[in-house]
Chain A
Amino acid sequence: DQQVKQNSPSLSVQEGRISILNCDYTNSMFDYFLWYKKYPAEGPTFLISISSIKDKNEDGRFTVFLNKSAKHLSLHIVPSQPGDSAVYFCAASGNSGGSNYKLTFGKGTLLTVNP
């Protein structure tokens, strides 16, 4: 039973356009959400996160939107650059200040930004 789902295995966009990566979750106990970027032969790199008390968090070209009622979050990259081409993982955590920091990951979406 996959609790974090990224239904699009791949996405292709033109340089300068917006990239929108989507993620759905099923566990209502999740209260913290993260996006990671992964290049081949490297570990995942933390990009941006959002707490369930917010519905938007922005960091430069990256914005994460959270819709709790729909159990859906999305990552917007504007403008997209060829260097953004990577696999993007959505992750969720159900911690509430406790000692369990387990991250539950989606399967990832391969983003290709074409020059």
Chain B
Amino acid sequence: SAVISQKPSRDICQRGTSLTIQCQVDSQVTMMFWYRQQPGQSLTLIATANQGSEATYESGFVIDKFPISRPNLTFSTLTVSNMSPEDSSIYLCSVLGTGSTTVSYEQYFGPGTRLTVT
């Protein structure tokens, strides 16, 4: 599986500011994903980031709030804009695994970024 790193690992931010989270993968991957885990909740997909095209956002998430960049096959960023305390969550990036079967849906996750908005 790919080795995935995220920066920062954690941050405390003031409301109204923005934070950009970086995700770096040690190999080229076609698809990258950004998830959010709010306290006590499950992981929720924010968007799918493909290199060379616009990110695809899930219902309830919009580009103005969560702009995503995917400049190459090993890197992506997620920005949390105009933050409020409700944005306090763990943000995780993941990549699609490449298994030996014809189709592989496994995703491999980075360590996450713990964001607290005050």
Interface residues of A (CB under 8 A from B): 2, 4, 32, 34, 36, 41-46, 49, 89, 91, 93, 95, 97, 100-108
Chain B's closest residue to A95 (CB) is: B105
Residues in chain A near residue B48, CB distance under 8 A: 100-102
A-B contact count (CB 8 A): 59
Q: Does B110 contact A46, Cβ atoms closer than 8 Å? A: no
Q: Does B45 contact A42, Cβ atoms closer than 8 Å? A: no
Counting from the closest, the 4 A-B pairs by CB-CB distance are: A43-B109, A105-B42, A105-B43, A107-B42
Query: Given A34-B105, A43-B92, A107-B42: A101 and B31 within 8 A (CB)?
Result: yes
Chain B's closest residue to A44 (CB) is: B109
Cα A49 to Cα B104 with chains together (Å): 10
Query: Given A42-B111, A43-B112: A106 and B42 within 8 A (CB)?
Result: yes
Given A91-B43, A108-B42, 16 new contacts (CB under 8 A): A2-B42, A36-B109, A42-B111, A43-B92, A43-B94, A46-B108, A95-B103, A95-B105, A97-B103, A101-B48, A101-B96, A101-B105, A101-B107, A104-B45, A105-B44, A107-B42
The smallest beta-carbon distance between B60 and chain A, in angstroms, is 13
Chain A's closest residue to B58 (CB) is: A102
The smallest beta-carbon distance between A39 and chain B, in angstroms, is 10
Q: Does B40 contact A107, Cβ atoms closer than 8 Å? A: yes
Chain B's closest residue to A43 (CB) is: B109
